[in-house]
Amino acid sequence: MDIGDWLRNLGLPQYEAAFREHAIEIDVLSELSEGDLKALGLPLGHRKRLLKAISVLGAIEQKPSEAESELRRMIDHIPVLVAAYRADGSRLYVNQRVRESTDRTVVADSELAPIAMHPDDVALADGTWRACVASGEPFELEIRLRMANGAYRWHLNRRVPLRDENGKIIRWYGVGYDIEDRKRVEEKLRRSEAFLAKAQRLSLTGSFSFYSATGEFSWSDELYRIFEFEPGLRVSLELIRTRYHPEDRHVMDGVPERIRRGTTDFDYEHRLVMPDRSIKHIRVVAQGTTGKSGEGLEYFGAVQDITQRRVAEAALDKARSELAHANRVATTGQLTASIAHEVNQPIAAAVTNAQSALRWLLALPPNLEEVEHSLTRIVRDVTRAGDVVGRIRDLIKKAPPQKDSVDMNEAVREVIELTRSAAAKTGISIKLELADGLPPIRGDRVQLQQVALNLIVNAVQAMEAVADGVRDLVVATAPAEPIGVIVTVKDSGPGLDKDAIERVFDPFYSTKPDGLGIGLSICQSIVEAHGGRLSVAANQPRGAIFQFNVPS
Ligand SMILES: Nc1ncnc2c1ncn2[C@@H]1O[C@H](COP(=O)(O)OP(=O)(O)OP(=O)(O)O)[C@@H](O)[C@H]1O
Ligand SMILES: [Mg+2]
C-alpha cells in the first residue's frame, strides 16, 4: 500500500506531503517514534491516531524473518548512503545513514530526489537523473550534499535500474559515497600542479623522468613547449635526437651508453634546431636513482631553455670587443694629440736655432763657431723630440717609467733654459728657488722635465693674458716628506675659478682658442706613474700654484 492511500484511509491526507518529504514509506512506519511524529508537526491527537494505526499495521504485516531483519540492519548501517527509487525516478526509500547524516531539517532542494543538495548542483543532478530515468542508462554523478552539521561534502552517486522479466524498469537502486577527502587531495594536487606549471613557464624550465629499464619518458608540458613537440607525443631518445644540433650530436650520442653503464649524474648544455631552423640552447641536469623494481635507473631531471642568456652573452662579448676597439681608437687619438703637444716645444726651438745658424752662416765673414753651436743645439732639440715621442707612447701604453737617477734641480734648470727666451719676450721674469741637498729621484728624466715644462708654459700663457701688473713666475724645488722632491710653479696670472679647478686635469679641457687641453692630463699621468701627486691651488694675491711631488 502507498503511504498516501494509507493516510487518506486514516482521514489524515494533510500529512502526505510531510511524509513524502522525509521519505517515510509504509515499510518504515514501524520505526517511527512518537518524537518523530512530533517533529513532523503532528498535534498530539493525530500522533496517537497514527501510532495506533501503525501498531495495527505491524500486527497485520507478517513479522519479518530473522534474515530480513539482518538485511535491513545491514543496509541501515553500511557506511554508504543507500536509496531506492520508483520507475519514474521519485524516491521511495533511504537508509538510516541518509536519515542521520544528511540535513533533514530544511525543505529539500531537489524535486525528484528530495535531499539537501548544493544549489549549484541541483540543476545538473536533476537533469542527469531525468535523462537516465528516460533512457534507462545508469546514473553517475559527483554532487555536494548538505550534511547534518550544515556543511557540504562531495559524494559520488551511482544508481542502477532493476528490470522485470520483460525488461521494464521497476526500481532504481542507488548508493552515495563520501569523496570529500579525495576531492580535497585532488584540489591540492591540481593547485600544486598549476603552481609548478606556472613556475616552469616563468623559468623556462621543463622537467622529466626517465626509466632506463623500459626507456619510458614522462615530460612536463613546458618541456614539450621547449622542444616544440605536440603535447602528449610519446617521447623516446630517437625522437629527442631529431632536434639535436648537428654540431652537438657528439655531446648527446654518448648518453645512452652512459645510461647503460649506470651513470647517475648528468649535467650538460647543447643546442637544438627547431622546425623553423631557429636555434635553442638548453641545459640539462638529471640524477638517477635505483628504479622501483630494483632494475635499471630512474632519472629525474630538468631542462632549462638558456637561449636568451646565451644570446645576451654573445651580444655582451660583441659589445666588449667593440668597446676595446673604440678604446684603442681613443687611445690613438690621445697619443696623436699628446705627441703633437709635446714635440711643439723642441721643434720650435730647433727652428729658432736653425734660423740663427743661417744668420751666422750668412754673416760676413761667417761665424762658424756660432754655426756649430746652433747646429749642436738643433741636434739636442731634435733628439729631445724623438725621446719625447718614445716616452709618450710608453705613457699611453701604461708601460712603467724608466728608472734613471734624476737630479731634480738640474732637470728643472735645463727646462728653464728651453723657455727663458720665450718668457723674456713677454716680459716675464722667471725666479728659481732651488733647495740644496735634495735626494736624487728614481724616475724618467725626460718625462719629469715634460711635466715642469708644461706647467711653466701654462703659467707663461696665463700671464700673457693679463694686461697689466707684475708677471712673476716662481719655480721652486723642496724636499718632500718622507723622502722625495716637491716642485712648485707659481704665477701671477688670472688664476682659476672653482669650476676650472675641478676640470683642469680632464683631457681636452681647455679655455684657450688654440689649446688642446692635453698638457695637464699628460702631467697628471706622468706624476702618477711615478707614484706622486699633482695638485692645484690659488696663489695670493692672484694667480695659480701648481705643485707635484715625486718620491725618491
Ligand atoms: N697657470 C694657470 N693659470 C690659469 N689657468 C690655467 C693654468 N694652467 C692651466 N690653466 C687652465 O687649465 C686649462 C688646461 O690646461 P692644459 O695645459 O691641460 O691645456 P691648455 O694649456 O689649454 O692646452 P694645451 O693642451 O695646448 O696645453 C687651460 O686651458 C687653462 O684654462
Ligand atoms: Mg697647456
Q: 504 alpha carbon to ligand 1 midpoint, in Å?
A: 7
What's the pLDDT tens digit per position in 54-75?
A: 887 766 655 667 778 888 889 9
Compute the radius of gyration of the chain from its Cα atoms: 53
Q: What pLDDT, in 10s, does the model give residues 314-360? A: 888 887 777 766 666 666 776 677 788 888 888 888 998 999 999 99
pLDDT at 114 over 80: no
Proportion of the chain above pLDDT 90, given as a percent = 45
Q: pLDDT: is 167 or 399 the higher one? A: 167
Could you tell me if the CB of 395 is within 6 A of ligand 1? no
pLDDT (average), residues 364-379: 93
Query: Does residue 428 line the site of ligand 1, with CB under 6 A?
Result: no
Task: Report the DSSP pairing between strands 429-434 and 472-480.
Answer: parallel
Residue 106 has pLDDT above 60, yes or no: no
Residue 219 CA to ligand 2 center (angstroms) comes to 72
The helix/strand/coil state of 256 is: helix
Domains of the chain, first to last: 1-63 (1.10.150.50), 185-305 (3.30.450.20), 315-399 (no CATH), 400-552 (3.30.565.10)
Burial code of 101-131, b = ≥16 C-beta within 10 A, e = fewer? bbbbeeebbbebbbbbbeeebbeebbebbee
- The predicted-structure confidence for 271-325, as pLDDT tens digits, reads as follows 999 999 999 999 999 999 886 777 888 999 999 999 998 888 888 888 777 776 6
Q: What is the mean pLDDT of residues 98-107?
A: 75
Q: Which of 463, 504, 508 to mutate to test the pocket of ligand 1 (most atoms within 8 A of CB)?
A: 504
What percentage of the chain exceeds 70 in pLDDT? 93
pLDDT tens for each residue of 194-215: 888 888 888 899 999 999 888 8
Q: Please check the confidence at residue 18 and state whether its pLDDT lies above 90.
A: no
- Please tell me the number of the ligand nearest to residue 544's CA: 1
Q: Give the pLDDT of residue 532.
A: 94
Residue 270 has pLDDT above 50, yes or no: yes
The reported pLDDT for the residue numbered 435 is: 95
Per-residue HEC secondary structure of 370-389 comes to: HHHHHHHHHHHHHHHHHHHH
pLDDT at 327: 65
Is the minimum distance from the CB of 503 to ligand 1 under 6 angstroms? no
Task: Identify the residue whose C-alpha is closest to ligand 1 atom 22.
Answer: 510
User: Which of 89-93, 260-264, 545-549 ranks highest by mean pLDDT?
Assistant: 545-549
What are 168's three cell numbers? 521494464
The pLDDT, as a whole number, for residue 342 is 81
Q: Which residue has the higher pLDDT, 541 or 355?
A: 355
Q: Could you report the per-residue pLDDT of 226-256, keeping only the tens digit for each?
A: 999 999 899 988 899 899 999 888 877 888 8
For the chain, give the mean pLDDT: 87
Cβ 441 vs Cβ 406: under 8 Å: yes
Beta carbons of 489 and 377 less than 8 angstroms apart:
no
Question: Kind and range of the H or E element at 257?
Answer: helix 255-260
What's the confidence (pLDDT) of residue 107? 47
Higher-pLDDT residue of 156, 68: 156
The answer to whether the beta carbons of residues 23 and 93 sit under 8 Å apart is: yes
Is the pLDDT at 186 greater than 80, yes or no? yes
Please report the pLDDT score of residue 108 as a whole number. 53
Cα distance between residue 409 and residue 107, in whole Å = 116
- pLDDT value of residue 446: 87
CA of 525 to the centre of ligand 1 (A): 15
pLDDT score of 1 more than 60: yes
Which tens digit of pLDDT belongs to each residue from 120-150?
998 899 999 999 999 999 999 999 999 989 8
Going by pLDDT thresholds of 50, 70 and 90, the confidence category of residue 497 is very high
Q: Ligand 2 centroid to 458 CA: how many Å?
A: 5
Exposure string (b/e) for 137-170, b if CB count within 10 Å is 16 or more? Answer: eebebbbbbbbeeeebbbbbbebebeeeeeeebe
- Give the position, in ligand 1's atom list, of the atom nearest the Cα of 514: 26
CA of 522 to the centre of ligand 2 (A): 10
If one residue of 510, 536, 539, 546 were mutated to test the ligand 1 pocket, choosing by the most ligand atoms within 8 A of its CB, it would be 510
| Residue 456 CB–ligand 1 contact under 6 Å | no
Q: Is the C-beta atom of 515 inside 6 A of ligand 1?
A: yes
Q: What is the pLDDT of residue 182?
A: 93
User: Quick check: 109 pLDDT over 60?
Assistant: no
Q: Which ligand has the minimum distance to the alpha carbon of residue 462?
A: 1
- Of all ligands present, the nearest one to the C-alpha of 523 is 1
pLDDT on residue 290? 84
